[in-house]
Amino acid sequence: MDFGIRGKRAIVCAASKGLGRSCAEALAREGVAVTIAARTREPLEAAAREIEAGTGAPVTSVVADLASPEGRATLLAACPQPDILVNNEGGETPGDFRDWTREDWLRALDANMLAPIELIRATIDGMIARRFGRIVNITSSTVKAPIANLGLTNGVRSGLTGFVSGLAREVAQHGVTINNILPGAFDTDRLQLVLGLAAQSAGRTFEEQLALRKAAIPARRLGSTEEFGALCAFVCSTQAGYLTAQNFLIDGGAYPGTL
Ligand code: NAP
């Protein structure tokens, strides 16, 4: 299927590896000119070269900490008028809320709620003027089903979800869609880290922890980043123009609800 987005411009945040990179790769495969950002130069530039070589689409890399205003300004200078914005970040560390200070909450809010909102604010009016826009926020399955020790994530991502839910209804009439993709367990460096911490605190080996995680997923496996990127590219397609204000859970059936 031709997704009809060849020649469009996309910003993909936090995209040197993992889920962000898979979204950039899937969009580039559709002929989208992609600008990717992350904080660490070497893996970011390597990712840009590999995506460009594999897809033939132009890829620009921008070294930036997207939780900071300076980082976002650098990214927007490289791609001021994107047609597609994929918001993503590094994620929060697990822990007990009794240990988190006001500063911890403000840092989490900045990174995973206010940074995406600031990037939307800077780019949405151009999308409205061109009568085409796709905004995708990578959030988490914890928005639908909280994980007790991921309180920072449970809290701040719900804030972003609530805000964009209203905004999506305001801009739908202009051909701009806003959706969230909620990953379950995907095979990335971050998941390795989270599983490693869980194994440590439960006194299990990493392999035992991984086996338990897979056993709790009806698909009995982790998701692949390619599966995630493919969903993102479809949500950004012209065919998906009537899909907006939705939360797409992609979790191998792990969420236990009927709806
Ligand atoms: P990952 O493999 O660790 O990749 C994270 C990416 O984000 C890297 O490119 C990293 O590069 C970049 N990054 C982190 N902080 C950044 C910042 N402040 N500014 C710019 N770039 C930044 O993680 P992932 O698994 O793809 O996860 C992506 C998001 O999905 C996270 O928010 C995570 O919580 C969420 N999520 C993931 C899963 C899963 O199973 N993987 C499940 C639920 C939710 P640098 O470090 O060089 O900046």
Write down the pLDDT at residue 93: 87
Write down the pLDDT at residue 203: 97
Write down the pLDDT at residue 106: 97
Q: Which atom of ligand 1 is nearest to the CA of 47?
A: 9
Write down the pLDDT at residue 42: 98
pLDDT interval class at 166 (50, 70, 90): very high
Tokens of 146: 């909280």
Q: For tokens 């900045």, what's the residue? A: 110
Write down the pLDDT at residue 257: 94
93-143 pLDDT, tens digit each: 899 999 999 999 999 999 999 999 999 999 999 999 999 999 999 999 999
Mean of the per-residue pLDDT values for the chain?
97
**Does the pLDDT of residue 169 top 90, yes or no?**
yes
Write down the pLDDT at residue 144: 95
If one residue of 21, 40, 89, 193 were mutated to test the ligand 1 pocket, choosing by the most ligand atoms within 8 A of its CB, it would be 89
Q: Report residue 186: phi and psi, to 5°.
A: -115, 145
**Does the pLDDT of residue 190 top 90, yes or no?**
yes
pTM: 0.98
**% the chain with pLDDT above 70:** 100
**Does the pLDDT of residue 205 top 90, yes or no?**
yes
For the segment 41-52, the average pLDDT, to the nearest whole number, is 98
Q: Show the ligand 1 pocket: residues with CB < 6 angstroms.
A: 14-20, 37-40, 65-67, 88-91, 111, 138, 140-141, 183, 185-186, 188-191
